[in-house]
Amino acid sequence: MSAPIFISYSSKDQDIAETIYKALEARGQKCWIACRDVHPGENFQEAIVRALREAKVMLLVFTSNANNSDEIKKELVLAGRHHVTVVPVRVEDVVPSDAFTYELATRQWIDLFNNWENEIELLASRLEHALNSAKPGDAGAAEAPAAAMTPRRLPKKPSSQPLIWGAIGAAAIVAVGGGVFLLRPKPATPVAVAPPAAAPTVIPPPRPAPPQQTAAQAPAPASLPPVTPVPAPPASAAGPATAPPAAAVPPPPPAAPQLNPDEAAWQTAETANTLDAFRDYQKNFPGGVHAQAAELRVLDLMLLAPATAGKAFDGTWQTMWTCPPAGQALGYSFQFSTQVKDGIIHGAHGAPGERGALALDGKIQSDGSAAIFGKGIVGSSAFAVGGQAGGTPFNFHASAHFDRATGTGRRIEGRVCDITFGKQ
């Protein structure tokens, strides 16, 4: 399976790369990533070469691990060979090595660690522009103005020499033709021949009438030759001479490929672009290909809509944030207070802008469902997935549900983390 966007990353940064590609696919951009799209038993190197050759854009996830990866350098060489556009993104404040500085000297960076939400939107827009520029036919369109500016060569004055030689040749043909006409033998004068004398007409005596016979008893005359059936003329010649031939009937167009139920339901939900449509997809395809994308669409639409919970959940909620170990990243948890007023959620841990800080903002609906958008700053690389450097910002969505005294939630993108709420 191929895709227009090839994700290039160090195997040590798999969690970061997964977060990026899921965010892009949630925005409708199809990606190819080795950790998901190389199937068991498939040759790893061949799959990468094939996917990169068929891609339009190579998204380079640049980190300190990628900076020291020989495999990524090979992928950059392949991208150049197959004319694949390279879009580098940094998730750490890392200075490229000399090899990468040479390869990426003319590229414009995107730093995802500055402001995740803004930069991921910028990245999605940049990728969309690159994909549109790489569509078939665009290259010809880009070359058209240059071709139009090319000066045309002035036509040369026709030479009179070919006319002279043509006249000479025509005169020679006339002379030769006249000679042949004069030298041909004259036809002999025809001699009139008298027509032969007409033979006397002999009228035979009348024959007696034959006895009456039935058609079955009457013998066929011996003097008549056998009747040979004449084949019917071709169908095209049977009609009037002026009738045009029948027009060829064009073959029917090929049937459109049938979408599987999952893809058909997802396209229906995207076309409607409503909470009910995406929730219907979640209900009917809880493990579908677009399950996470549907959940993110639901949360975004809830965050845009007004909170409808009223004052049912107003008050102070003791909040526990828990992230279990993931890969080489250590697990951690901490508590902080969250305020709810008129269905609007706001909670914060640590000082804004400092390492280890976390902020939650969201809305609660009348049924207790809640959508949360979170922002944080990595405190220490030991606790960060992929070894992100301390001070690296990150953003995420979370879904939650509240009742009268308790609430639970979970982080959607990236690392799995749990949230519990207890009303004070």
In this prediction, residue 327 carries a pLDDT of 79
Q: In this structure, what token pair is assigned to residue 85?
A: 């556009």
Q: Is 326 exposed, middle or buried (0-12, 13-18, 19+ CB in 10 A)?
A: middle
CB of 236 closer than 8 Å to CB of 245 = yes
In this prediction, residue 282 carries a pLDDT of 92
pLDDT grade, residue 8 (50/70/90)? Answer: very high
Each domain of the chain, given as residue ranges in start order, spans 5-136, 267-304, 315-423
pLDDT grade, residue 108 (50/70/90)? Answer: confident
Lowest mean pLDDT among 175-189, 370-384, 408-422: 175-189
Tell me: pLDDT of 316 over 50.
Answer: yes
Number of H helices, E strands in the chain: 13, 13
pLDDT grade, residue 106 (50/70/90)? Answer: low
Residue 215 DSSP code: T
105 SS3 class: coil
pLDDT grade, residue 405 (50/70/90)? Answer: very high
Q: 52-92, pLDDT tens digit by residue?
A: 999 999 999 999 999 999 999 999 999 989 999 999 999 88
- Nearest CA-CA partner of 297 in 316, 319, 276: 276
CB of 33 closer than 8 Å to CB of 39 = no
Q: Which residues contact 335 (CB under 8 A, 6 or more apart)?
A: 318, 319, 320, 321, 349
Domain 5-136 has CATH 3.40.50.10490: no
In this prediction, residue 129 carries a pLDDT of 87
pLDDT grade, residue 395 (50/70/90)? Answer: confident
In this prediction, residue 256 carries a pLDDT of 59
Pairing of strands 31-32, 332-341: unpaired
CB of 360 closer than 8 Å to CB of 345 = yes
Choose the most confident range, by mean pLDDT, from 205-214, 242-251, 378-387. 378-387
**E-strand spans in 40-108?**
57-62, 85-90
Domain 315-423 has CATH 2.40.128: no
pLDDT grade, residue 194 (50/70/90)? Answer: very low
pLDDT grade, residue 206 (50/70/90)? Answer: low
Pairing of strands 31-32, 5-8: parallel
Q: Which long-range contacts (CB under 8 A, 24 or more apart) does 278-287 make?
A: 285/261
Tell me: pLDDT of 288 over 50.
Answer: yes
Q: Which residues contact 147 (CB under 8 A, 6 or more apart)?
A: none
Place of tokens 């990169």: 52
Tell me: pLDDT of 227 over 60.
Answer: no
Lowest mean pLDDT among 5-9, 36-40, 215-219, 277-281: 215-219
Residue 93 DSSP code: -
